[in-house]
Amino acid sequence: MPGVLAAFVALFAVALLGYVVGALGVLRLEDERVLSRLAFFVATPALLFHTVATADLGSIFSPILITNVAGVAVGQLAYVLVARLLWKRDRRETTVGVIATTYVNAGILGIAVSVYALGDGALIVPVVLFQLLVLAPIIFLLLEPPSTDRSLRRALLLPVRNPLTVASLLGLLTAVTGLHVPDVLMRPVELVGAAAVPVILIAYGVSLSGPGTREMAREGGRDVVLAVFLKTVVVPAVAYLVARHALGLEGTMLLAATLFAALPTAQNVYVYALHFGAATNLARGAIFVSTLVSIPLMALLTALLG
């Protein structure tokens, strides 16, 4: 798949551009937040809706979800066995470590990889929906036990407050029902969605250019090392083995299953940790280190599997 590898070179080049303009001060860290919000609330929902609404349903309801769940299960179990049973971390610290190990940046970097490197944005949709509809409410409940009905309601309503979930579900409804969206409405959505990947990658590069990045890499100590090792080695390996030997996937589907498992820890993990006051150093360190190694790692996987 030389085309896929070439696409990864392009992705890396755009991310490198973001790093350069960040290091030169053309864009600042506060600009990275603006770019990220633009991608999260505007461009990426538009891209997801257009992609899912016009996708082959076979791409959406694909076995990639099975490989993702398998990697998540093994990664979480391994982290709990070490951190909870061996290191005696408390429940909330363990929860943050667990999600740092398995809650991937599917809604931002994953979409860029799916659209540009794999050529089918619908491939990432099962992972996005699984994280937003299943993992996110569970995380919420574990970090803040539902002592009141209000807490439970907040957990259950959390997914529908996320623009990526709403856009994906609306696109899925459109695809399943065969509803035709007039071109006069769909073309602006497509135009805005086209901005998502470059904006995402430039913001990604800018985020790595700020001061204090080395200190972030050390935050969380051995908990970060464990989370990043599981995230970048064990979880992708499990996804690959399940995809290749249990499901018999080949070609693009095998590559997609492995790459999605190798995505870095999502920034949502730090948001959750900060909101609930639990293991924020672990969250920051895991996000930074896994993000730093993600594109070289996925480029290597693409070269090996392609």
Q: What is the CATH number of the domain that holds 166?
A: 1.20.1530.20
- The pLDDT value recorded for residue 11 is 72
φ/ψ of 104, rounded to 5, equals -95, 165
41 within some domain: yes
φ/ψ of 56, rounded to 5, equals -70, 125
What is the chain's pLDDT, residue by residue, as a tens digit (306 residues)?
455 566 667 777 888 898 899 989 898 878 877 888 888 788 888 988 888 788 777 766 789 999 999 999 999 999 999 998 899 888 889 999 999 999 998 877 888 788 877 888 888 888 888 887 788 778 877 876 555 555 566 666 666 677 877 888 888 889 888 888 898 999 999 999 888 878 878 887 887 776 665 565 565 688 999 999 999 999 999 999 999 999 999 988 999 999 999 998 987 787 677 667 778 788 888 888 888 888 788 888 888 886
At 100, which amino acid appears? A
304 within some domain: no
Number of domains in the chain: 1
306 within some domain: no
Domain that holds residue 21: 2-299
From the list 95, 155, 7, the residue with the least C-alpha distance to 286 is: 95
- The pLDDT value recorded for residue 245 is 95
305 within some domain: no
Predicted model pTM: 0.76
End-to-end CA distance of the chain: 5
- The pLDDT value recorded for residue 4 is 57
